[in-house]
Structure formats: C-alpha cells, structure tokens
Chains A and B, each alone.
Chain A
C-alpha cells in the first residue's frame, strides 16, 4: 500500500536510530544458561521467538498500521507482557522509536500517542504507527516487527558467542520463509482486529523468554539491556 519498498528498508534497517542494537531479545540470558551455544541452537531460539513474541509483536504492529486505536493496542500489549522487565524494555524502545519516527515521518497520530504515553508506548505499537506515517501498510509493519524479533538475537549472539557473522546471517536467511508466513498471519489478524478490536490478535508467549527476562534484568553486569 502507499509507499514503496524503500521506506520499509529505512524503517527495518538495523541502523535506524531507535536503540534496538542495545537489546539481545533474550539471547544474552539464553547464552548464559547454555541454551544457545552455536548456529543450530540459535536457529531454534530464533524460530521459537519468531512464532511466539515475534508473532504477537507483528500483529500489534500490523494492527496499529491498519488504524486500530493505538491506546487499545498498548493495553493489549501490557496484557500480553507479564514480565515487568519486558514491559519496561518495550516502553523504553517505544519512546526511542517515537523520537526517531517523528523526525523521519512527522505525523499527528505519532504526536498524539507520544502525548498520551509520555513514558513510551509499547514498541510494536509505535512501529506500526510509524509504518503508517511512512505510508506503509499492515503487512509491511508486520514484516519489520517479525524481522526485528530474530535479527536482534542473531546479531547479539555474534558478539556474545563470537559466532561467525556468516553463520548468523545464514540462520536469518533460513528463517526468511517462516518470517513471511508469520507476517502474513499477523496482517490477517490485524484485518480482523479492525472490526473486532485487539482481542482478535494472537497473544503467543514464550515461558522462558518471560522468566529469563526477569533474571537478566537483575544481573549487575551485562552486555545488552535486555
């Protein structure tokens, strides 16, 4: 819809200044616990994250891009995020993305969300509204959120384990068809949410991501913020 692919590349670029590079998406805790040790276990980790927290985030982003009330989506995101550490992370990242987005694609909708949630709305909601401001559609927003769900951990594990960046990128390439599938599911759920509200969105969750986020937040020294 609307804008072409270039705006999506700008938004999904790892260098987009929204602070995502400082977060491992739970990979740092998984490496410490010995659950991610190589490319194969990184792929299992990323696949699990993609189909749980990734799908939920992609659906929230797609729904925001589709014009569903962002404050209702922000409440839905709270209910889908039992971990207080992850709620705090999502809001911090949302605030950072809001700043970058308002500079890149000024929009009254982003201004209104920033005014209603001065401490930051959940990042996937901001991402979706940013996509909307950039003239992108719900499927684009879902792709950006789903990609972020796996690119964060893959990049972090290169630093945490000294994993070969070629191997980490190959993991992302192998996950690409599943990423497309997750984005399509998210966009389809967002279409339903336009009429039925946020309850129509998936609420997929990963127990270990929630539990270990609390542990990670309590570490005195860590490489990544989450």
Chain B
C-alpha cells in the first residue's frame, strides 16, 4: 500500500500496477516491467504471434469506496500486448461513503498493438466509482479496447458510476466520452440515455488501415451500432438488458470489423 502525500489520512486502499511491453529477440514482445500491489495480481500468459499476454487475476474485492487504483500500460514501438482479466471488476461501497477512483493510463507506440479486453465493471448497490481511461496512441499504433459497464448485480439497483474515456492519436484528440449512471445522475435511465437497459458497452478499434478503408456505419439490431469516427477508427456502441447480451452484441461487431482486427 502506498500513501499519497497530498492525502494525509487515506480512507481507503491506494494501489498501482504497471506493465511495460517491449520488443524482444525474434520479434517476440517481452515484459520488462510487470508489477502490481494490493488487489493487482498480474500474470504472464502464453500468447501467439509473438505478442505478450498479461492477465489481471481476479479475487479482488476492489474498488471499495475510498480506494484509489491506478493501472498503467506502456506498449513500446513495434511491441504487441493483449490484456485481459479473469473476472469482472466489482465496485462496492466503502465504510466511509467516499467515492473510489480507478485510473487507467495506456500508451501505444509506433507500429505497436494493444488489445485491452477486461471483463465488465459491475457497479454494486451503494458503490460510487469514478473511472478514467486515457489512451495515447502513436500515429501508426493499433488499438482494440473493450469497455463494459453493468449496473447492479442481478436484481440489484445500481451504484453510482462515472467513466471518462479519452483517446489521443498523434497528440490529437480522437475520442472523448463521459458516461454517468445511478443515484444523483439526472435522467440516466430515461429514453435518451439507457431506456431501462442495465448493461452498456463499447468496442473501440483504432487502426491506420481505416484511413484507406473506413468502417461503414452499420446497425446491429435495435440497441447497437458500428460508427466510424472522425479519424481512422470505429466504435461499436451497445446497450443491453444484461452483461451476457451485451457481450454477444460486441462480439458480433468484433467479427464484422475483422478486416482490420488481427489477433494478438
């Protein structure tokens, strides 16, 4: 556990994890840095095509209210990294009622690839979590990023969940989106935002190949769509009744974008 100097009396856990993926011999990606404390247990898994695969092992009952978690991954030029988790991340209420913060920072270098595919983030009743994900991509970097939020466990009202996902490419803003759901968020469950759905997610794909062949806008049923961004990227946005239905929608979209998706 680390203590931040600007917070003399931390109410919750402060934990950080850091991954660095770098090019190694024979075109394989190596992991010179793979460190995590507190709830972050990172494992190296077997992967194919020379990429490295890091898995965040579950069994963490965090973030709790008051916790501050930070996860950083750097993919150096020409390296390839796949990141997964073994279980969903469950936001739970803490003892103090303080909000929790979970900050993810990702950087992907030239001709490097990152597949960031965590399991869903579940907002349990009474929890309050603010998540930020910031991605900095080099011009020739490739990214596949999946984000899924599930509002409440089965039959449970949701906690409060706010997220901001910001993606820059070659220093220029490509995608910036804030979502907010749950208590004290006006209108979140109305017909403009979720319309009664309890799972929401997106799959963001950035690939220089889109510059020559942009993705086509496409509908995937009544609550999901593929949208080309104003840049070499596409996002699949979906809402669904539950996590399983959401994953099906995103997976079907992923297969449609296969032209530019290469396995990592």
| A contact set with B: CB distance below 8 Å | 26, 30, 33, 35-36, 41, 44-53, 75-76, 78-85, 87, 178, 198-199, 202-211, 214-215, 217-218
Q: A207 touching B179 by the CB < 8 A rule?
A: yes
CA distance A198 to B187 in the complex (A): 25
Q: A35 touching B173 by the CB < 8 A rule?
A: no
**B10 an interface residue at 8 Å Cβ cutoff?**
no
Smallest distance from the beta carbon of A184 to chain B beta carbons, Å?
14
Q: Is the interface of B mostly helix, strand, loop or mixed?
A: strand
Q: B238 touching A45 by the CB < 8 A rule?
A: no
A-B contacts besides A51-B186, A78-B229, A84-B228, 13 pairs, CB < 8 Å: A30-B192, A45-B190, A45-B191, A51-B180, A82-B227, A178-B186, A199-B176, A203-B164, A203-B166, A205-B179, A208-B191, A208-B194, A210-B227
Q: Shortest 10 CB-CB distances between A and B: which pairs?
A: A35-B191, A44-B190, A48-B187, A47-B187, A48-B192, A48-B190, A78-B230, A48-B193, A203-B176, A214-B225
Chain B 224-257 interface residues, beta-carbon cutoff 8 Å to A: 224-225, 227-230, 235, 237-239
Q: A82 touching B237 by the CB < 8 A rule?
A: yes
Smallest distance from the beta carbon of A186 to chain B beta carbons, Å?
13
CA distance A207 to B188 in the complex (A): 10
CA distance A51 to B179 in the complex (A): 11
Contacts of B210 in A (CB 8 A): none
CA distance A198 to B225 in the complex (A): 27
Chain B 164-198 interface residues, beta-carbon cutoff 8 Å to A: 164, 166, 172-180, 185-195, 197
Q: A45 touching B192 by the CB < 8 A rule?
A: yes
Contacts of A35 in B (CB 8 A): 190-191, 195
Q: B200: nearest residue on chain A (CB-CB)?
A: A207
**B219 an interface residue at 8 Å Cβ cutoff?**
yes
Q: B239 touching A49 by the CB < 8 A rule?
A: no
| B contact set with A: CB distance below 8 Å | 164, 166, 172-180, 185-195, 197, 200, 217, 219, 222-225, 227-230, 235, 237-239
Residue from B172, B176, B237 whose CB has the most chain A CB atoms within 10 Å = B176
CA distance A96 to B190 in the complex (A): 30
Q: Knowing A75-B172, A79-B175, A215-B222, say if A51 contacts B187 (CB, 8 Å).
A: yes
Smallest distance from the beta carbon of B181 to chain A beta carbons, Å?
10
Q: B185: nearest residue on chain A (CB-CB)?
A: A51
Q: B180 touching A214 by the CB < 8 A rule?
A: no
10 pairs across A/B with beta carbons < 8 Å? A45-B190, A48-B187, A48-B193, A199-B176, A206-B192, A207-B200, A207-B239, A208-B193, A214-B227, A215-B225
Contacts of A199 in B (CB 8 A): 166, 173, 176
Q: B224 touching A211 by the CB < 8 A rule?
A: yes
Smallest distance from the beta carbon of A28 to chain B beta carbons, Å?
12
CA distance A212 to B218 in the complex (A): 11
Contacts of A210 in B (CB 8 A): 225, 227, 237
Find B235's partner among A52, A53, A82 (CB 8 Å cutoff).
A82
Q: A206 touching B217 by the CB < 8 A rule?
A: no
Smallest distance from the beta carbon of B145 to chain A beta carbons, Å?
13
Contacts of A33 in B (CB 8 A): 191, 195, 222
Q: A47 touching B186 by the CB < 8 A rule?
A: yes
Q: B233: nearest residue on chain A (CB-CB)?
A: A82
Smallest distance from the beta carbon of B214 to chain A beta carbons, Å?
9
Q: B177 touching A82 by the CB < 8 A rule?
A: yes
Q: Knowing A45-B190, A80-B176, A80-B177, say if A211 contacts B238 (CB, 8 Å).
A: yes
Residue from A45, A78, A82, A203 whose CB has the most chain B CB atoms within 10 Å = A82
CA distance A145 to B211 in the complex (A): 33
